Amino acid sequence: MLGLLLLLFLGFYAVSVAALIFLKFRWGMRVVGLAAVLILGSIAVMFAVYSAPALAKYGLSLFTTAEWDPGAERYGLLSAIVGTLISSAIAITVAMPLAVSAAVAINEFLPGQVRWVVASLLDLTAAMPTVIYGLWGRDVLGPALAAGLNALGSWLLGAEPVRTPLNLLTAGVLLAVMITPYAAAIIREGYGLIPRQIEEAIYAVGATRFEAVLIKLRYIKQYVAGGFFLALGRAMGETAAVAMVVGGNYVRLVLNPVDPGITISSLIALQFPNAANYLYMTPVLYAAALTLVLMGLVINGVALYLLYRWQV
């Protein structure tokens, strides 16, 4: 199956390159788009085939239970699904205000040369290896968050709420740091495309600087939404950095962000090396991967729907 998938990749790639070279650009881009859809579809089919034994054995209970006992061959993905949603929600809640603020500051307030330097540095952070973020999150961010929350909890509640710095909250905040450059780049691009006539009209009616920024952000709401969904998809799929800080708690459902948890991608990364030792763990992990693909398709579907509605 993997060999067939590799051949499909190579075939799709060759057809796409040939289409762009020998056909009109419009038709070439259509072929490239079709090739991308076929590649994603083949990946989803592969995951579905490899996860079929687990789906046949456990059924819906695979997604509605949080048990993880490889010795007894009892598995549940609910804790990983919930952990993915919690960490992604934290990440997007923290990242979007930062991304919007960064885009506005770069385009609206910074002078030309400084603007270029800051934008380049922001883009550079997106290219850093994720394991670097993971090490920083484990050794610096997690302990700092735990110390701050425990100090606040001792002052307000007389108790320290955070028992370990490796938890879903640390994973969410770390993801926010990682995805902010992606969202900011999209918003910054849209902000820079606002016609000068629109800007002049905004100030001509007496708008303040703050009101002008709000009007411009509404004008480029498609780009803001695009940055939001791109960042959300990036957060849900991050693996290495999250696996280092999330805590790796497989055995129970975690709803408290300051408790150790697990996400779908980190579950696959941490358990796959041992999966061959068990009968059903490998199909279960492929089912987890299929779940992540379906979640990504839902996110992209919502994004396309909103962007289409705003364009009409």
Same domain, 81 and 43: no
Confidence at 296, pLDDT banded by 50, 70, 90 = confident
Residues 9 and 99 both lie in one domain: no
> 74-75 and 68-69: which strand pairing?
antiparallel
CATH of the domain at 280: 1.10.3720.10
What does the pLDDT read at residue 15? 64
Measured CA to CA, the distance from residue 303 to residue 307 in angstroms comes to 6
Do 194 and 156 share a structural domain? Answer: yes
Q: Which residues, listed in sequence order, are joined to residue 261 by a DSSP beta bridge?
A: 247
What pLDDT sits at residue 25? 60
Among 113, 115, 88, smallest CA distance to 102 is for: 115
SS3 86: helix
pLDDT at residue 239 tops 90? no
Chosen domain end from 58, 84, 104: 58
Domain that holds residue 279: 64-311
Scanning the chain, the segments in alpha helix (DSSP H) are 2-22, 25-58, 61-64, 78-104, 112-126, 130-136, 142-156, 168-192, 196-204, 209-219, 221-237, 240-245, 264-275, 281-311
Beta bridge partners of 74: 69
Count of domains in the chain? 2
| Whether 40 and 189 share a structural domain | no
**φ/ψ (deg, to 5) at 74:** -115, 125
CA 302 to chain centre: 15
pLDDT at 265: 93
Q: Which of 41, 58, 75 is the last residue of a domain?
A: 58
Residue-wise pLDDT tens digits, 17-27: 666 566 666 66
What is the rounded CA–CA span in Å between residue 95 and residue 224?
12
Is residue 175 within 8 A of residue 91, CB to CB? The reply is yes
pLDDT digits (tens, 9 = 90+) for 68-120: 988 889 999 999 999 999 999 999 999 999 999 999 999 888 887 788 888 88
**213-232 per-position pLDDT tens digit:** 899 999 988 889 888 988 99
Pair (105, 5) in one structural domain: no
167-186 average pLDDT score: 93
- 277 and 197 in a common domain: yes
26 and 171 both lie in a single domain: no
Tell me, what amino acid is at 188? R
Domain check: are 103 and 52 in the same one?
Answer: no
Kindly state whether residues 87 and 178 are assigned to the same domain. yes
Q: Are residues 25 and 48 in the same domain?
A: yes
Both 13 and 136 in one domain: the answer is no
According to the model, what pLDDT value does residue 12 have? 62
pLDDT band at 176 (very low <50, low <70, confident <90, very high): very high
> pTM to 2 decimals?
0.87
Note whether 108 and 2 are same-domain residues: no
Q: Are 310 and 221 in contact (CB under 8 A)?
A: yes
What's the mean pLDDT when you consider all of the chain?
Answer: 86
Residue 32 pLDDT grade (very low, low, confident, very high; cuts 50, 70, 90)? low
Residue 251 pLDDT greater than 60, yes or no: yes
Count of residues making up the chain: 312
Q: Within 10 Å of residue 4's Cβ, how many Cβ atoms?
A: 10
For residue 11, the model assigns a pLDDT of 65
Residue 82: per-residue pLDDT: 94
**Pick the residue with more confidence: 95 or 305?**
95
For tokens 């696959």, the residue is: 268
Q: Give the mean pLDDT of 31-50.
A: 79
Which has the higher per-residue pLDDT, 148 or 39? 148
